[in-house]
Amino acid sequence: MFPVHCQLYFCRLSHEATSELLKNPETRLISCSISATLKAKYPPVPLTDRPQNRHARRWVSIALLSQPAAGSARSRRGPAAWTRAGRGVRAPPDWPQRGARGRCRGGRRREAARRMGTRAGFFEVEILDWKTKEQLCFLDKVEPNATIREIRLMFHKLYPRWYPARQSIKLDPKGKSLRDEEILQHLPVGTTATLYFKDLGPQIGWTTVFLIEYTGPLFIYFLFYFRMPFVYGLDERFTSSPHPVVNLACICHSFHYIKRLIETVFVHRFSHGTMPLRNIVKNCLYYWGFAAWLAYYINHPLYTPPSYGKKQINFAVIMFLLCEAGNFSIHVALSDLQKNVGLFTLLCFIQMTVWAKDKHCTYLREFKDYPSLRMPIIPFLL
């Protein structure tokens, strides 16, 4: 009948995955290792052929489930046509090769180890793929006080393309990723721990992302402020605006992004070191796009200063300063830099949480010049 590992594989297909595959009327169940409810719903058909290729195990299992109905065109072509992957079945092209890695074991070896008994005190860790439950790695003789970081490093040695930052190791296939600091013996596992792995894709560090995201708007604004020739046409190149409020807007915008850059370097502490690489394109488009959009209109030769005059400007500047101070105080409070309370207290008054979108609205309301550099309420270093 079936080789041992094929039957074990059928056991590892979850109930949902199996019933999903069986819903298709053309597929037939062959193996008996499923739940009684599924067996009653889809009565099994005996297998008449044996899978040839051990290493195409995943492909074979799906093709076996797709055995065609008797007498149909596919079955007349013969079993060779479907013992390999059938039409439409695709395995991921870079699926790690089983057997090529030193420590990957099938179920048989695990049975043997269990029969002999494991070494007292040591843990065994098996790591399964979160979706297919295929065993990717089996580590024996793991120290009980090993951390998840060490397990990630061991896994990385077996699969060099999955560096630790892109491994998500979890106790439950649909659960949260375990942190690096977690200790193996404190987890709710027996002496043989079953962990699930998910590839998070190429990663990039948070600090790197923030620096790129925030430097862009700083310099993009200047392209518009100094009226580079390609922005407003050759006739307006390198001219400057007659409205002082435009200069004030440039100062505020630059101050905001310099503050953000300083916070990124000195204040923020990120819980996850990395984020997926594709996020950086999306985030940069957002920040750089918004900066270009508002810079274009503020520095345009046909710009119209605010209609409500000085009162509107003063109000907007006060709101801006309050929001910046509140935003900064929140970041400091969340980052545990309280040891420098004396220095930051000058700048931290009011607790507010404001996002950059509010800044955009403030800019659109615009500023007009006001004569002296009086700072109304807050002694502020500007």
Partner 1 sequence: MRQFNDSEHNIQNEESVILFLVVWTVTEITRYSFYTFNLLNHLPYFIKWARYNFFIILYPAGVAGELLTIYAALPYVKKTGMFSLRLPNKYNVSFDYYYFLIIVMFSYVPLFPQLYFHMLRQRRRVLHGEVIVEKDD
Which residues contribute to the site for partner 1 (CB under 8 A)? 21, 24-27, 62, 65-66, 86-93, 131, 198-199, 201, 297-298, 300, 302-304, 307, 364, 366
Shortest distance, CB of residue 220 to partner 1, whole angstroms? Answer: 18
Residue 194: what are its φ and ψ, rounded to 5°? -110, 115
Q: Which is nearer to partner 1, 48 or 307 (CB)?
A: 307
In the complex, the smallest distance separating the C-beta of residue 302 from partner 1, rounded to whole angstroms, is 4
User: Strands of 192-199's sheet, edge to edge?
Assistant: 135-142, 123-129, 192-199, 167-170
State the Cα torsion 158-164-165-171 to the nearest 10°. 100
Q: Which is nearer to partner 1, 230 or 373 (CB)?
A: 230
For residue 113, the Cα-to-chain-centroid distance in whole angstroms is 37
Tokens of 231: 């922005």
Q: Cβ of residue 379: shortest distance to partner 1, in angstroms?
A: 32
| Cβ distance to partner 1 smaller for residue 63 or 146 | 63
H or E stretch including 138? strand 135-142
Residue 89 Cβ vs partner 1, minimum distance, rounded to whole Å: 6
Nearer to partner 1, 59 or 214 (CB): 59
| 92 φ/ψ angles, rounded to the nearest 5 degrees | -55, 135
And the tokens for 183? Answer: 């200790």
3-state percent breakdown (helix, strand, coil) of the chain, nearest 5: 50, 10, 40
Name which of 111 and 199 has its Cβ closer to partner 1.
Answer: 199
Asked whether 111 and 180 are in contact (CB, 8 A), the reply is: no
Report the residue number, 88 or 379, with the smaller CB distance to partner 1: 88
CB of 380 to partner 1, least distance (A): 27
Least Å distance, CB 261 to partner 1, is 27
Please state, as a whole number, how many other Cβ atoms lie within 10 Å of the Cβ of residue 209.
Answer: 19
**Distance between CA atoms of residues 76 and 59, nearest Å:** 21
Distance (Å, whole) CA 4 – CA 105: 13
Distances in Å between the Cα of 37 and the Cα atoms of 18, 19, 43, 133, 227 are: 12, 10, 10, 21, 72
Residue with Cβ nearer partner 1 (293 or 380): 293
Least Cβ distance, residue 22 to partner 1 (angstroms): 10
Amino acid occupying residue 79 = P
For helices 206-225 and 278-298, the axis angle rounded to 10 degrees is 20
**Counting Cβ atoms within 10 Å, is residue 381 exposed (0-12), middle (13-18) or buried (19+)?**
exposed
Closest listed residue to residue 246, CA positions, set 267, 227, 263 = 227
The least CB distance from residue 163 to partner 1, in Å, is 16
Q: How far is the CB of 300 from partner 1 (least distance, A)?
A: 6
